[in-house]
Amino acid sequence: MENDALRPPVSKDIGVLRAGWGYASVSDKISDIVLTRPAGWGWITAFLLTFAGVLVFFGATVWLFVKGVGIWGVNIPVAWGYAIGNFVWWIGIGHAGTFISAVLLLLRQKWRTSINRFAEAMTLFAAGIAGIFPILHLGRPWFFYWLVPYPDVMNVWPQWRSPLVWDFFAISTYLLVSLLFWYVGLIPDLATLRDRAGVHPVQRGKQIIYGLLALGWRGEARHWARYETAYLLLAGLATPLVVSVHTIVSFDFAIGNTPGYHSTIFPPYFVAGALFSGFAMVLTLAIPLRHFFGLQDFITRRHLANAAKVLIATSWLVGYGYAAEIFTAYYSGDQYEIYMTVNRWTGVYAPVYGSMLVCNLLVPQLLWSRRIRHNIWLLFGISLMINLGMWMERFLIVVSSLHRDFLPSAWGVFYPTFWDWVHLLSSIALFVWLFLLFVRFLPAISIAEMRALVRESAQEGS
Amino acid sequence: MKKQTVIPIADARDDTAEDGIDRRSFLKLMAASAALASAGCKGPPQEQIVPYVRMPEMMVPGKPVYYASAFVHRGFAQGVLIESNTGRPTKIEGNPLHPASLGATDVFAQASILQLWDPDRSQAVYRGQALSTWETFETALQAQRETWSKDGGAGLRILTGTITSPTLADQLAALLQRYPNARWHCHDPLHDDAAIAAAHLAFGKPAETVLHLDKAAVVIAIDADLFGALPGSVRYAHDFAQRRRSGGDGVAGNRLYAVEIRPTLCGARADSRLALPPAEIERLIWRVAARIGTPGVPASLTGAAHADSSRWEAALARALIAHRGESLIVAGGSMSPATRALVHAMNATLGNVGKTITIIAPVEATPIDHVESITNLAAEMAAGKVKSLVMLDVNPVYDAPADLGFAKALGGVPFSVHLGLYRDETGRHAAWHLPLSHAYEHWSDARAYDGTASIVQPAIAPLYGGRSAHELVALLVNDDTRGGHALVRRTWARHAAGPDFETFWTDALRQGVIADSVSAALAIGSMHTPSPPSPTHVAAAPLAAVFVPDPATGAGEFANNAWLQELPRPFTKLTWDNVALIGAATARSRGLATGDLVRLNLDAMSDHALDIPVWVLPQHAEGVISLPLGYGRTAAGRVGNGVGADTYALRTVAAARGRAALQLHKTGKQHVLATTQQHTTMEGRDIVRLATLAQYRENPHFATDAPKKRVPKDSLYPEWEYKDYKWGMAIDLNACIGCNACTIACQAENNIPTVGKEEVLRGREMHWIRVDRYEVQHRGAGRAARSVFQPVPCMHCETAPCEEVCPVGATVHDSEGLNVQVYNRCVGTRFCSNNCPYKVRRFNFLQYSNNEVESFKAVQNPEVTVRRRGVMEKCTYCLQRITRARIEAEKLGRTLQDGEVVTACQAVCSTEAIVFGDLNNPNSKVNRAKASPLDYALLAELNTRPRTTYAAMVTNPDPALE
């Protein structure tokens, strides 16, 4: 028995971690992806394809800067189009990461452990891409910094009543805190990578870089104590941000007077939608990740099923948002709101509205079935549907509200142009490209936390 | 509208001094630095450039000067003031002293300034397809003159449009005297031939009709677009609106009935309107004539075929009989000469002549039938009898009747000369093409609809070395006097021979009007009542064609004008195209929808075919198809080439006389049409508020009788106090006729770019003030819906939603209450536009302002920033005009008086529908307008508290027709 206590623990199957893993094997398994595993043809192909997409993204952006936002389909009255829809969609996707890391940490949910790292990376990339779109969307993007309150000789400040200024702060704060949270969480793992990298010239380079990034982590008890405190504090800081960011993003619309924008349900509705799309994206990423890197024991069916349960819950919240919009329109008796609501069902964008309802409300109901929750491929398909549905929701909010507002004489229709699609699709390529880099160069699952989970599972089992 | 600026004259003391530094040469130099040099034809001036030793009089940099001149369209003059900034004409204003203007203009006059600077204008003499010079032409002409002198000009023919210019008339008369065998032909595709024939029928001599709408209580317009298509339309609209304000509780001082084929501005404004095919209209008017006892009209004419007709017949007769001497009937367009002669007889019977109508001697120099004239000319050309043909500012290859084969016949004329503003279709077919100077570049004269003469004085030296028609005719007859200035002076020295010619001349130039030149009433002897037209006058074909002028291109002469091409046509809000207009039932029966491309064939000549998209207008008569002229140009210039369909292809001699039957085939294809307004119903919203006079009398506050229709009074915040001025605008929907002049005046004043068809399709037109059109079901409108117009500029909301959402404070309120847009600060988030419930903001999605073509730089108003791409813009209430007036007032140490600030849209409005002024001044016109019970704020319930408010519309329909 005493020997058992001295022997490193071996995990038991606790659902979110399969049996038979020890400290060393966990570390090997995860760090090998980064340090020793050769880049397979699959990764290289995906990398090259998405890199081409990244080049397209930057090329299209250069063209956008040369010609102006007129290359997109935006017009008067629909002055906001794909760019703002994409922005809201990406920022929504960027929600799940922080939610999983911070909120679930505070709620002591063990199943967050193996998915928080890549979910946070997803958050960073998505929020970063989201942050690009409002700048691209500007008529004169080179002056985007005028939204920042910086001291200048003209003494001109931003106009504080504008939600776009709040938005600027909300997003930059969120990005900053998410980055800190992610990085602090990475430090023990970076140290592990530093220590495990060999002395072979290539490995030596990795050792130096990981070593620099690890900020001198030695795994001392003092380090751990401070680390734990800092991590918890950051989690506490990040938690309100999860709610605030999308609340403020929703203000971009709710503060406006346009029918379809001007609604008090928007903040909770946007936050719910963000979690919904974020968890869908977590599934979209987790399923190939565990498949291609053989992480089935760490990212188990339990994880996927739990995420699916969150999807059901948030799907209903989103559905409540849809219902509340309709109810408010009729309850207010406002003819403009009522017209806009009916127009969503019957107007030119009705097919989009119908598809959105199918993707966001009907399809997720399949997840009530345990069989489907545990069917990897169906889950993957459903997650893609939800991503699509949420994009359509953003499109509808932005575009369909604007295209039928107060004066019928000014009504118009938005049609996307070639460049609208280029920017949307290539931004997805950029996201995947960043994620591919991430899984190759940083541990996609937290090694330190997995080791803690091994110990916990061993204790729990005994 | 009173211009405070002194109106200088463009006269020179000695225009004949070729090398003296006179004012025109100086202007030339001035213009050279700004525009001429870079216009691509001459290169930079080689001379040394030295600063002024003596400042030229009245040339103060930054201060515009105004030259009184005239805009001549289809021969008739509209008095204008040409605003010139340091030698560059940049804007046209109406001349308040001119009877056809009274300070307002139509859309064409506004757009004419862009035509002046059009880089596609003809810039050189062409001999065939080769570049040549004026000197070479003069040499060639010398040989011709010798021939003409020998045979008396037997083979010489002159072709002009409608000419009212006394100078040109004198010159051509002299030419015909010198070459007695020469002939002068006229061709203007829109010339009202039937009016002349009708005058012959009724009076036995040519005559023209001048209307006094200010004196008429009942106006009946029989397919006559009083407010859109007549030489006096601007004045007529003004008089109509004046009359309307003068009685009927200040909103309905008259009643306008319109019976017409296609919707016109006049019909839209009418209190009672009926759409009928031409034959039915004629039948109706004959029956009305019988009812009012017009002598010679048989009392028993065949019964009305149309259900509405009999009701209308009774109502019209009743109204006319009740208003003897203060009624007015006018017939136009498609009516036969007999019917139009009948209208003369009816007016005489009712005692209207001399009261609401004046019959005057023709204003045009040659009151002849133009279709006949061009037909004769073409026949002679085809017969080889024409050896020399001089075409002065006409384009017959494009617009002559299709069955004349004019282009082919022109090839057989050895010495054909075309003098034109553009090297157009005719210019390319003629042996010689000579560049015509623009009306604002040369001396001329012209007469207005009522005979009033004006001197056309130049505001700039010819940009492209063009010459005027006077100068060319002087060459033809080898006149001793060659300069336009001297020629015009010579005419007036002859006509207005007085002891003090210089004073007369100076006054004429300064005022833009020659005093006492209005035509006297013509003594009418006995009236002949014509016999009723045979029922087959308009072929009883299933589909009759009516060729109509286009509200944007005229008859094609403005095809290359981007402002006009992009100006939404009043009823379709279509830009950059023409469409065949048809009624709803006709469309239904043939399975057509708006945008369907159809193939039209003439019944008589099936080889004449045309593919054109149709547009279904419920206000259009059934069984008739209206075909706007002026499109499908091949040599208009880079803007106008290939735009729309050339309806002249179907306009044969018979068609031009109103006898065209068409066959229509669906092609199954669609044509993409760029409109600026896609939705014309109000969806039950209180946008244009209207009532009948009876309803108004019952409830004068109908426009604001529900709390929802009013601006909320209560606010948590104290009212902001404006210390000095507080600008506001009131738009009277009772006066607005929907003519679009405000839109284009604003475009000219505020450097608003055009964007092209593709961008209009995307919904990116840039107009700061648009004229919305809605179709409303309204009592008295007959069965079809009524069209109502609503000009929408920026509302300058007190609590502007745009200001709250701009993240950089690029749109803010100023100290005088204007909602201003700071272009420098704008980053282009477009949130302001989203949040603007009126959608009056316009965004530069791409680089729309043309900053590449030099001459387009010259037309820009120097007082208004030219916007670059990526910034938002919108109506400023003509901030620059406010500032200019304020500075002038401050210099005099006083405050601004009411009426000193006139916005561009207000100035151009013929009906004075737009009133602008200081809301802090209790006596200002705008405050008086806003005190009306009709005053309402658009979308008041949103609490934006707009400064632009509207006077609700009150119609005065005939109760019997409701």
The pLDDT assigned to B30 comes to 47
- Alpha carbon distance A160, A165 (integer Å): 6
Q: Indicate the pLDDT class of residue B300, thresholds 50, 70 and 90.
A: low
Spatial distance between the Cα atoms of A359 and A394, rounded to a whole number of angstroms: 13
pLDDT at B19: 40
The tally of CA atoms less than 13 A away on the side-chain side of residue A425 is 11
Average pLDDT over every residue of B581-587: 91
State which amino acid sits at residue B779. Answer: R
Task: Please report the DSSP string for A356-419 in residue order.
Answer: HHIIIIIGGGGGGSHHHHT-HHHHHHHHHHHHHHHHHHHHIIIIIHHHS-S-GGG-------HH
Contacts of A411 in chain B (CB under 8 A): 678-679
The residue that leads in pLDDT, B217 or B250, is: B217
With a CB-CB cutoff of 8 Å, which residues 221-280 of chain A face chain B? 252, 255-258, 261
**Position B12 confidence tier, pLDDT thresholds 50, 70, 90:** very low
Pick from A68, A79, A252: CB nearest B870: A68
Selected residue of B775, B805, B825 to mutate for chain A interface (largest A Cβ count, 10 A) = B805
Q: What's the pLDDT score for residue B306? A: 62
DSSP reduced 3-state for B731: strand
Q: Which of A419-428, B19-28, B318-327, B592-601 has the lowest mean pLDDT?
A: B19-28
pLDDT at B914: 95
CB distance B751 to B91 below 8 Å: no
Burial of B412 (0-12, 13-18, 19+ CB in 10 A): middle
Assign residue B249 a region (left: φ > 0; alpha: ψ between -120 and 50; beta: otherwise): left
Rounded CA-CA distance B153/B335 in Å is 38
Distances (CA, A) of A387 to A250, A434, B58, B199, B498: 19, 18, 70, 76, 89
Total residues belonging to chain B: 962
pTM reported for the whole predicted model: 0.91
At residue B880, does pLDDT exceed 60?
A: yes
B346-404 pLDDT, tens per residue? 998 899 988 999 999 999 999 999 999 999 999 999 998 999 999 999 999 999 998 88
The domain that contains B308 carries what CATH number? 3.40.228.10
Residues of A in contact with B682 (CB under 8 A): 408
The b-or-e profile of B655-682 (16+ CB within 10 A means b, else e) is bbbbbbbbebeeeeeebebbbbbebbeb
> What's the gap in Å between the CA of B790 and the closest CA on chain A?
10
pLDDT band, residue B16 (cuts 50/70/90): very low
Looking at residue A207, its pLDDT comes to 86
Number of structural domains chain B divides into:
4
Q: Which of B345, B360, B375 is the last residue of a domain?
A: B360
pLDDT at A96: 80
The answer for A 129-168 residues in CB contact with B (under 8 A) is 134, 137-141, 143-144, 146-147, 156-159, 161-165, 168
Q: Verify that B881 and B919 share a domain, yes or no.
A: yes
Whether a cis peptide bond, with omega within 30° of 0, leads into A77 is yes
Residues B769 and B910 in one domain: yes
CA dihedral B219, B223, B224, B226 (to 10 degrees): 60
Per mean pLDDT, which range of A143-157, B539-553, B706-720, B770-784 is the poorest?
Answer: B770-784
Listed in sequence order, the residues at least 6 apart from A333 whose beta carbon sits closer than 8 Å to its beta carbon are none
Range B788-795 average pLDDT = 95
Q: In this complex, which of A68, A164, A413 lies closest to B869 when CB atoms are compared?
A: A68
In whole angstroms, how far apart are CA B125 and each of B432, B479, B563?
7, 21, 27
- Tell me if A143 and B827 make a contact (CB, 8 A cut-off): yes
Dump pLDDT digits (tens) for B711-751.
888 888 888 899 989 999 999 999 999 999 999 999 999 99
Average pLDDT over residues B440-444: 92
| B490-522 b/e (C-beta count within 10 Å ≥ 16 → b) | bbbeeebeeeeeeebbeebbbbbbbeebbbeeb
User: Chain A 381-410, CB below 8 Å of chain B: which residues?
Assistant: 402, 405-410
Give the domain A14-461 fold. Formate dehydrogenase/DMSO reductase fold (1.20.1630)
Of residues A71, A79, A335, nearest to B830 (C-beta): A79
**At residue B859, what are phi and psi to the nearest 5 degrees?**
-80, -10
Q: Work out whether the CA dihedral B813, B814, B816, B819 comes out positive or negative.
A: negative
In angstroms, the CA B149 to CA B182 distance is 11
| B422, part of any domain | no
Q: Among B344, B360, B376, which residue terminates a domain?
A: B360
Tell me if residue B92 falls in helix, strand or coil.
Answer: strand
CB B829 within 8 A of CB B843: no
Chain A and chain B share a number of CB contacts under 8 A equal to 172
Strands (E), B13-146: 65-73, 76-85, 88-94, 125-127, 130-132
Whole-angstrom distance, CA of residue B266 vs CA of residue B269: 5
Helix (H) or strand (E) holding B582: strand B580-582
Question: At B324, is the secondary structure helix, strand, or coil?
Answer: coil
Structure tokens at B765: 């037109």
Nearest residue of B to residue A417, measured between CA atoms: B762
Within 10 angstroms of residue A142's Cβ, the number of other Cβ atoms is 11
> Do B84 and B233 share a domain, yes or no?
no
B819 DSSP β-pair partners: B813
Q: What DSSP assignment string belongs to B363-412?
A: SSS----HHHHHHHHHHHHHTT--SEEEEES--HHHHS-GGG-HHHHHHT
> Are B951 and B689 spatial neighbours (Cβ–Cβ below 8 Å)?
no
Which tokens is A346 given?
Answer: 């019957």
Stretch B877-904: mean pLDDT, rounded? 93
**Which residue range(s) make up the domain with B248?**
208-360
pLDDT number for residue A323: 93
- Count of all residues that appear for chain A in the document: 462
> How confident is residue B38, by pLDDT bands cut at 50, 70 and 90?
very low
**Coil, strand or helix: which one is B198?**
helix
Same domain, B848 and B887: yes
Instruction: Output Rg (C-alpha) for chain A, integer angstroms.
Output: 23
Banded model confidence at residue B27, pLDDT cuts 50, 70, 90: very low
Spans of all domains in chain A: 14-461
Q: Is residue B681 part of a domain?
A: no
Cα A42 to chain centroid, rounded: 24
pLDDT greater than 90 at residue B36: no
Beta strands B208-211 and B357-360, pairing class: antiparallel
Q: Which two three-digit tokens encode residue A134?
A: 């409002």
Instruction: Give B-chain residues touching A146 at CB under 8 angstroms.
Output: 807-808, 825, 827
Residue B417: enclosing H or E segment and its boundaries? strand B415-420
Give the CATH number for residue B621.
Answer: 2.40.40.20
Residue B613 in domain? yes
Cβ–Cβ of A78/B763 closer than 8 Å?
yes
Determine the pLDDT at residue B32. Answer: 44
Rounded CA separation B211/B355 (Å): 9
Residues B168 and B285: their CA atoms lie apart, in Å, by 39
Give the residue carrying structure tokens 């979910």: A119
Nearest 5°: CA angle at B877, between B875 and B878? 95
* Residue B37 banded pLDDT, cuts 50, 70, 90: very low
What proportion of chain B, given as a percentage, has pLDDT over 90? 61
- What mean pLDDT is predicted for residues B184-204? 90
pLDDT at B540 exceeding the cut of 80? no
The alpha-carbon gap from A267 to the nearest alpha carbon of chain B, in Å, equals: 18
Q: Is A159 close to B806, i.e. CB distance below 8 A?
A: yes
pLDDT tens readout for residues B253-296: 899 999 999 999 999 999 988 888 888 888 888 888 888 888 87
User: Residues of A numbered 50-79 whose beta carbons fall under 8 angstroms of chain B's beta carbons: which are they?
Assistant: 67-71, 73-79
Same domain, B696 and B667: no
Mean pLDDT, residues B431-459 taken together: 93
Dist. CA B466–CA B301, nearest whole Å: 57
Sequence-distant (6+) residues with CB within 8 A of A232 are: A105, A106
**Cα–Cα distance, B516 to B154 (Å, whole number):** 39
> Chain B contacts of A163, Cβ < 8 Å?
805
Average model confidence (pLDDT) for chain B? 87
Cα–Cα distance measured from residue B366 to residue B159, given in angstroms and rounded to the nearest whole number? 12
What ipTM was reported for this prediction?
A: 0.92
Residues B652 and B704 grouped into a single domain: no
How far apart are alpha carbons B106 and B567 in whole angstroms? 13
pLDDT of res. B537: 47
Could you write out the three-class secondary structure of B246-264? HCCCCCCCCEEEEEECCCC
Which of B553, B556, B536, B546 has the alpha carbon at shortest distance from B582? B546
- Please report whether residue B412 resides in a domain: no
Output DSSP code: residue B613.
E
* Cβ B952 vs Cβ B702: under 8 Å: yes
- Within a domain: residue B349? yes
> Residue B22 above 50 pLDDT?
no
Distance of residue B626 Cα from the nearest chain A Cα, in angstroms: 25
Whether B773 sits inside 8 A of A138 (CB atoms) is no
Tokens representing B944?
A: 């934006």
- Give pLDDT, residue B255: 92
Q: Please check whether residue A348 touches B, CB under 8 A.
A: no
> By CA distance, what is A73's nearest residue in B?
B762
Tell me which residues of chain A have a pLDDT lower than 70. Answer: 1-6, 199, 461-462
Check whether residue B699 and residue B652 sit in a common domain: no
Asked if B694 and B671 sit in the same domain, the reply is no
B698/B839 same-domain check: yes
| A292–B contact, CB cutoff 8 A | no
Considering only A254-268, B304-318, B653-667, which range has the smallest mean pLDDT? B304-318
* 351-370 in chain A: CB under 8 A from chain B: none
User: What pLDDT, on a 0 to 100 scale, did the predictor assign at position A153?
Assistant: 86
DSSP B941: G
A139 chain-B contacts, CB cut-off 8 A:
826-830, 843-845, 869-872
Mean pLDDT over B69-95 rounds to 92
Both B487 and B341 in one domain: the answer is no
Instruction: Enumerate the residues of chain A whose CB falls inside 8 A of the CB of residue B804.
Output: 161-162, 255
Per CB-CB distance under 8 Å, the chain A contacts of B847 are 68
- Crossing angle between the packed helical segments A301-332 and A335-346, to the nearest 10 degrees: 130
For residues B779 and B658, membership in a common domain is answered with no
Q: Please, where are the H alpha helices in B750-822?
A: 757-761, 801-805
Rg (CA), chain B: 28
Q: How far is CA B808 from the centre of its chain?
A: 41
By the 8 A CB rule, do B127 and B136 touch?
A: yes
